[in-house]
Amino acid sequence: MTGNEIREKYLKFFEERGHQILPSASLIPHNDPSILWTAAGMVPFKPYFTGKATPENLRVTTCQKCLRTPDIEEVGKTARHHTFFEMLGNFSFGDYFKEKAIPWAWEFVTSVLALPKEKLWVTIYMDDDEAFDIWHKEVGVPKDRIVRMGKDTNYWEIGVGPCGPCSEIYIDLGEERGCGSKDCAVGCDCDRYLEIWNLVFIQFYRDEEGNYSPLENKGIDTGMGLERVASVMQKVKTNFDTDLLREIMDYAGSLLKVKYGEDDEKDLALKVITDHTRAITFAIGDGALPSNEGRGYVIRRLLRRAVRFGRVLSMQDTFLHKVSAAVIKQMASAYPDLEAKQEHILQVIRTEEERFLETLAQGTEIIAKLTAEAKAAGNTVIAGADAFKLYDTYGFPLELTKEIAEENGLSVDEEGFTKALEKQRQRARSARQETEYLSERGVMYKALREELGVTRFTGYSLLEGKANIMAILKDGLQELSAEAGEEIELILDVTPFYAESGGQVSDHGHIVGEDFKVEIYAVSKPLDDFIVHHGKVIAGKVRRHQTVDVEVEGSRRQDVARNHSATHLVHKVLQEVLGDHVNQAGSLVEPDRLRFDFTHFAAPSPEELKRIEELVNNMILANLPVEAFETTLSKAKSMGAAALFGEKYGSNVRVVKMGDFSLELCGGTHVNSTAEIGLFKLVSESSIGAGTRRIEAVTGRGVLQYLEAKEEQISQIAKAVKATPSEVVKRVKGLQQSVKDLESELESLRSQLSRQEVASILGQAREIKGIKVLAAVVSAKDMDGLRSMADLLRDKLVSGIVVLGADNAGKVSLVAAATKDIVKQGVHAGKVIKEVAQVVGGGGGGRPDMAQAGGKDASKLQEAMDKAYAVIEGQLQ
Ligand code: SER
């Protein structure tokens, strides 16, 4: 059974039992700061288990891409460890529980996979008698094949969230795979008993502090590692030998000129390269990019580790992107979007590889130096500060420094490294103090929301309305009233004010009572459904529980809406012009301009940019209707709505539709029809990091301002060149021509002048011991001019030596040029110039026939020339 077949059979088995097959979620968890990666099949479903969101179907089955890095060092050394792997799972959100999950798992394993019952074992959580009874009485597993285990193995949890006791299915791979120990049994670390499936009985919620509370709806989360099961089905020793990985590994072997299976060390390298390349290929495909922080750092670390193992196999060049292409080829049938993103993925990998090879060259030198220094000083430790510097300035992962140090018999002061890192973080944090402070207030807002209830937002259709003041806050504390001049925060029961989110800036406006007025300059949404108005009382006294008129500044809102709607058009147009790999990486929507960041490698050409601008404007002129509606996520997706990286799981999403052209998940405010955007003008395009580009543009009134500024610029240029704006180009061309004419006239006058000078200078030549010697102070505009004059004079002398000196604004230039015949007689221009230069406080030298020098003291130029005669005379002795 191939990997693909197992995947299909699994999903189909559960589909037949009422489960909805969902596609794998992104490796980047959505809205879950407690974890960096989707590390298990249940991760995307946390809100369903807790009841925070309602799924469309209470039974779901998936094959989920997973990434885990804690065991990175084990990868390739063991038969089973991976950073990237696929997990098959079936889930129940408050629907069935153990009574179905257990018999189904057994049925699948024994009927579909047809694994021999007599080789199967199960484990259960210590006191889970319920599970015991189901396994034994209903399924018929003999008592002695059911092993009770502790919390360390049979309780499953992942950070904050749903968790519970679990039960696992093991297969006995035979005594010959065992460690031979007397105590070898299920749970032993050796290769004999292999866990193939974990059934988690979700019943608790673990909070940030580590407290457990029972969940209202119990659920099921199961996980079966696809690569493992494939190894069992294909009767191979390691996951790397399954069809899922073997082809990729063999391809890597062909690139690195290594045959798998001949040498353990080399096999290890191939396995690491294969595993890590799978991980970075999928992670980059899901929108992660290498960087020095968080998720990006994991990618960087995996990629760099793989490159290093390539170097162990003597690969000096970039190669990982080729392995990645093989990964995509292998996995594309199950993950078709990989193919669409192939170009982007390979580009990111190749660029990062190139960068790392440069870094490696630099860093390896530095580590070699550090190692040598440490050894010389009898030290066995590399200082934490040094390791940090390598990390910070050269992007050298700590692990890599450690590995290289270890190869040299040294260790790294990790504590020192952490200290240095922490110090740097603190610096960064104090720069962000303001936002940190706000986030500390989160607790206070949470309490307020509980007390006051949520804020109803009416701003999609209204710009004004009546509301009640629910709370007034000053410096984070509740007050009953506030006076003119005070800065406050207001909480209303209902508001048309849009709070900054999704890249769109907040509304401005006023909140007005009978005898007071508050100017609102910012609006935030610290929690879902909770809107905070930030403003200043500009007249009167505002009191709690008053009824007020709320007024959003309409023109600003409309400017923002124009820019926001334009970003949707830009997004879609970019995909049409540059390709499907383009994805939004960030955006900023302000009244004056919009900024749109997207994934793309090369700089778009001027033609492409023109085309982008033109297409966006076509869509504006087409006057497409803009509608927004709510629907379920899966419906939105099946309609083809664009979503940001990382899926959103909530029962309802808002979709913004522009004619048949664009469909995007979006919570922002928009124009009613694209024509309201007016006009779209690209203002700049630039790179903001590997594989990410930024467009800035203006719309509507912004375009008018842009045109006005351009016009003003032209009129200033026109004024400066004394022409009317329409004649500017002609005038500038005329000016350029006359500059050219003047320059050539100047040049001819100069050469005339120097010819005349040459004639008069030649008259100064002396004869010393039958040789013509000329040393003179001349005028030349630079060293080049002086040299060509010396060449000319030397030619005129036919046989002899010329020494010239010139004063260029206080800087002295000297040149000496001798004909070949007198060089043979012992004259050396280089030596002459050296001595002459000393007179004017300088130095220099050169060949026997040509030399030059500089000096500082122009007042001694004549003296220097006199010296030249003397030196040459000396050389002729
Ligand atoms: N969450 C469990 C695991 O990862 C079962 O899916 O093992």
Note whether residue 251 is domain-resident: no
Q: Is the domain of 10 the same as that of 156?
A: yes
Q: Give the containing element (helix H, strand E) for 718.
A: helix 700-720
Contact between 109 and 169 (Cβ < 8 Å) = yes
Claim: this prediction has a pTM higher than 0.75? no
Q: Is the domain of 622 the same as that of 767?
A: no
Note whether residue 737 is domain-resident: no
Specify the number of domains making up the chain: 5
H runs (alpha helix) in 68-128: 98-107
3-state secondary structure 593-649: CEEEEEECCCCCCHHHHHHHHHHHHHHHHCCCEEEEEEEEHHHHHHCCCECCCCCCC
Q: 3-class DSSP state for residue 167?
A: strand
Report pLDDT for 643.
66
Among 82, 196, 221, which is best to mutate for testing ligand 1, by the most ligand atoms less than 8 A from CB? 221
Q: Is the domain of 615 the same as that of 688?
A: yes
Report pLDDT for 648.
45
Q: Is the domain of 811 the same as that of 841?
A: yes
CA–CA separation, 866 and 351 (whole Å): 62
Q: What is the chain's length?
A: 877
Q: Is the domain of 221 the same as that of 316?
A: no
Q: Is the domain of 12 the same as that of 127?
A: yes
Contact between 134 and 160 (Cβ < 8 Å) = no
Token pair for residue 24?
């794998």
Q: 3-class DSSP state for residue 336?
A: coil
- Who contacts 784 (Cβ-Cβ below 8 Å, separation ≥6)? none
Distance 236 CA to ligand 1 centre (A): 24
Note whether residue 756 is domain-resident: no
DSSP 109: I
Q: 3-class DSSP state for residue 507?
A: coil
Q: What phi-psi label fits residue 843: left (phi over 0), alpha (psi between -120 and 50 degrees) or beta?
A: beta
Q: Is the domain of 487 the same as that of 544?
A: yes
Q: Is 156 in the pocket of ligand 1 (CB under 6 A)?
A: yes
Note whether residue 771 is domain-resident: yes
Number of Cβ within a 10 Å radius of residue 557: 20
CA–CA separation, 685 and 390 (whole Å): 33
pLDDT means over runs of 10, the chain (877 residues): 96 96 91 79 90 88 92 87 96 95 97 96 94 96 94 84 93 90 87 94 86 88 96 95 96 95 93 97 92 83 91 90 97 91 92 87 82 85 88 75 84 90 70 39 76 92 95 86 94 96 93 95 89 96 94 96 97 92 87 93 92 97 95 81 55 88 93 97 88 92 95 93 91 94 89 80 89 90 86 89 90 93 92 94 90 92 94 90
Token pair for residue 221?
């989360």
CA nearest ligand 1 atom 4, residue: 40
Note whether residue 659 is domain-resident: yes
Note whether residue 187 is domain-resident: yes
Question: Among residues 410, 431, 452, which one ends one of the domains?
Answer: 431
Q: Is 223 in the pocket of ligand 1 (CB under 6 A)?
A: yes
Angle between helices 342-376 and 320-331 (to 10 degrees): 140
Query: Residue-wise over 379-413: b if at least 16 C-beta within 10 A, else e?
Result: eeebbbebbbbbbeebbbbbbbbbebbeebebebb
Note whether residue 14 is domain-resident: yes
CA angle 828, 833, 834 (to 5 degrees): 100
Question: Among residues 406, 431, 456, which one ends one of the domains?
Answer: 431
Token pair for residue 436?
């940190």
Token pair for residue 638?
């099946």
Q: Is the domain of 50 the same as that of 191?
A: yes
Q: Is the domain of 50 the same as that of 154?
A: yes
CATH code assigned at 111: 3.30.930.10
Among 10, 35, 37, 42, which is best to mutate for testing ligand 1, by the most ligand atoms less than 8 A from CB? 42
Q: What phi-psi label fits residue 105: left (phi over 0), alpha (psi between -120 and 50 degrees) or beta?
A: alpha
Q: Is the domain of 67 the same as that of 136?
A: yes
DSSP 782: S
Distance 88 CA to ligand 1 centre (A): 9
CATH code assigned at 697: 3.30.980.10
Report pLDDT for 33.
65
Looking at the CA of residue 40, tell me the nearest atom of ligand 1: 4
- Sheet-wide strand order for 662-665: 626-632, 652-658, 662-665
Q: Is the domain of 684 the same as that of 603?
A: yes
CATH code assigned at 808: 3.10.310.40
Q: Is 41 in the pocket of ligand 1 (CB under 6 A)?
A: yes
Q: Is 200 in the pocket of ligand 1 (CB under 6 A)?
A: yes
Token pair for residue 105?
């798992």
CA–CA separation, 281 and 245 (whole Å): 14
H runs (alpha helix) in 763-858: 783-797, 820-824, 829-839
Note whether residue 423 is domain-resident: yes
Contact between 320 and 355 (Cβ < 8 Å) = no
CA–CA separation, 606 and 615 (whole Å): 14
Q: Is 359 in the pocket of ligand 1 (CB under 6 A)?
A: no
CA nearest ligand 1 atom 3, residue: 223
Looking at the CA of residue 158, tell me the nearest atom of ligand 1: 1
Question: Among residues 525, 552, 579, which one ends one of the domains?
Answer: 552
CA–CA separation, 67 and 26 (whole Å): 11
- Structural domain of residue 602, as residue ranges? 557-708
Q: Is the domain of 513 the same as that of 591?
A: no
Q: Is 42 in the pocket of ligand 1 (CB under 6 A)?
A: yes
Report pLDDT for 428.
58
CA nearest ligand 1 atom 6, residue: 223
Beta bridge partners of 457: 495
CA–CA separation, 38 and 52 (whole Å): 19
Distance 762 CA to ligand 1 centre (A): 97
Number of Cβ within a 10 Å radius of residue 189: 10
